[in-house]
Amino acid sequence: MQAVALPARAGLRWAFDGWTLFRSQPLAFFSWAMFISLILMVASITPPVGPIVFVALMPAVTFITLCASRHAAAGQKMLLGMWFAPLQTKNVFKKLIAMGSVYIALCIFMGLIAFMPFMTELSDSVQLATTSNNLVPLLEAVRTPMIIFAVMYVVMASLFWYAPALVGWHSLSLMQSLFFSGVACWRNKWAFMVYGLVWIGVFIAIDLVMSLLVLLGLSDSMAATIQIPINIVAGSILYCSFYPNYISVFESSDRDNTDQFDPSNNDSIS
């Protein structure tokens, strides 16, 4: 399993390639992103079971998204029965659920490492915030453990980024997929930094535009109503960008890595 190292500008190209792929079947990918959003909404109102189930299913959702993107890149129209077909391959769904379970366990473990040493300070700040009705002490107390957790989470996320594809398409074991995913992300760390900044910028820009419309007289409720489908479209393009990201790192060693992803080119998904 060979992962190529791409220049930092590849992160920007992944985002543009996601847009190109989204345009090939916008309704299908928009519907899929809306479906994921609905699942997330249900999970958020049914704690603690809902969030746990949602996180456990995320590797499977990611693999479904990648498979749909591969079909779209090959020029195949995504039909309703095609979406969950990839999970019917022998042992794939079982491995992806196991991956999600490991993800949850690591998140809990990292949370304990990040927050346990500060529990006394956090407890005192919660009491102070309650009595004084001032959240500043709590925000100051939670800042350090949150930074520690964020650093550990970035490392963990790199282990799982490519893992669903490596398990589903290459039949690797869970540990092998995590290892190769981590190596690939490290080799492309600058591209991922640009990629992350691009998407942070996109969603911040959407918020800023909506805030500007409110300042110009649009009601808050109308602005929120308009923003929801825009966010879903942006999320759809983000999901579509996962596939060109993957093929440029794992399936492009035999061609010029500066070439732009072309969803009409079947050679790019061989």
Residue type, 219: S
Query: Do 248 and 257 meet the contact criterion of CB atoms below 8 Å apart?
Result: yes
Q: What is the model's pLDDT at position 125?
A: 86
Tell me the C-alpha distance between 139 and 127, whole Å. Answer: 13
Tell me the C-alpha distance between 175 and 181, whole Å. Answer: 10
Nearest one of 244, 255, 232 to 195, comparing CA atoms: 244
Percent of the chain whose pLDDT exceeds 90: 80
The rounded average pLDDT for each run of 10 residues, N- to C-terminus, in the chain (270 residues) is: 91 97 96 95 92 94 96 93 91 95 95 93 85 82 93 96 96 95 96 97 96 92 93 97 96 49 42
Q: Which two tokens stand for residue 204?
A: 């911040």
Distance, CA of 199 to chain centre? 11
* Mean of all residue pLDDT scores within the chain: 90
Question: pLDDT, tens digit, for every residue of 130-167?
Answer: 887 778 888 888 999 999 999 999 999 999 999 999 99
Q: What is the model's pLDDT at position 127?
A: 86
Q: What is the model's pLDDT at position 1?
A: 66
Q: Which two tokens stand for residue 251?
A: 């399936």
Task: Pinpoint the alpha helices (H) of 74-162.
Answer: 92-115, 119-132, 136-161
Q: Which two tokens stand for residue 257?
A: 């890595």
Tell me the C-alpha distance between 132 and 180, whole Å. Answer: 50
Q: What share of the chain is helix, strand, coil (3-state, %, to 5)?
A: 80, 0, 20
* pTM (2 d.p.): 0.88
Cα–Cα distances (Å) from 110 to 54, 56, 96, 222, in that order, read 19, 17, 21, 40
